[in-house]
Amino acid sequence: MKLVNSDPIHLIWKITPALALGAIFFSMALSAREAPGVPSQENQLSAVGSLRSINTAEAYYAKEYGKGFSPSLAALGVPADGTKVSAKAAGLLNNFLTAGTKNNFVFKYSAGAQDADKNISTYTVIAQPVTWGKGVKSFFTDQKGVIRGTDQNRPPTASDPAL
């Protein structure tokens, strides 16, 4: 069976537009990571979702490694290539989030003090906008899993109202 128009030049003209279109979509995906600024409503919803993901990852981490919660946000991240998951890089969250900045929010993780058995039984996470603006919230969560927020230009706390 012979393919119609199977000469190399004709195939290049068929493949090239597909590659160009793929490159355009890839470029658009990269540019979708916004420049730092005042977070949009979507960024705020993403921050809340990220805090939920952190709470879920912490619950899993505590169960899996038997030493309580993680000592850092980075410990929940993906291990380096060729490295197995461990308590130092559990592979539970993507490294964009564990690096501490995502979608115009800065995430600050604080592990509680270790007890005599070196277990960590508390943690807090706050998500604050890179640039605060009217109508923008900052968020707080801890080992209890309740997400709280404030629209004031200050770090959120455990006394702020639950969402």
Same domain? 59 vs 12: no
Domain membership of residue 9 (yes or no) is yes
Which DSSP state fits 96?
A: H
Domain membership of residue 97 (yes or no) is yes
Q: Calculate mean pLDDT across residues 55-83.
A: 94
Domain membership of residue 62 (yes or no) is yes
Same domain? 19 vs 45: no
Q: Which residue has the higher pLDDT, 36 or 1?
A: 36
pTM for the predicted model, two decimal places: 0.76
C-alpha distances in angstroms, 123 versus 66, 70, 73? Answer: 15, 8, 10
Residue 64 CB partners (closer than 8 Å, separation 6+): 90
User: How many independent structural domains does the chain possess?
Assistant: 2
Domain membership of residue 157 (yes or no) is no
Token duo for residue 84 = 């197995």
Domain membership of residue 28 (yes or no) is yes
59 half-sphere exposure, CB direction, 13 A CA radius? 9
Same domain? 73 vs 104: yes
Domain membership of residue 69 (yes or no) is yes
Same domain? 18 vs 54: no
Per-residue pLDDT tens digits for 20-54: 444 444 444 444 444 567 888 899 999 999 999 99
Domain membership of residue 163 (yes or no) is no
Same domain? 62 vs 142: yes
Q: Calculate mean pLDDT across residues 141-160.
A: 96
Domain that holds residue 3: 1-32
**How confident is the prediction for the chain on average, in pLDDT?**
84
Residue 70, pLDDT above cutoff 70: yes
Same domain? 6 vs 57: no
Quick count: other Cβ atoms within 10 Å of Cβ 63? 8
Q: Calculate mean pLDDT across residues 74-79.
A: 94
Q: Calculate mean pLDDT across residues 56-63.
A: 96
Domain membership of residue 161 (yes or no) is no
Same domain? 93 vs 108: yes
Same domain? 26 vs 45: no
Q: Calculate mean pLDDT across residues 116-132.
A: 95
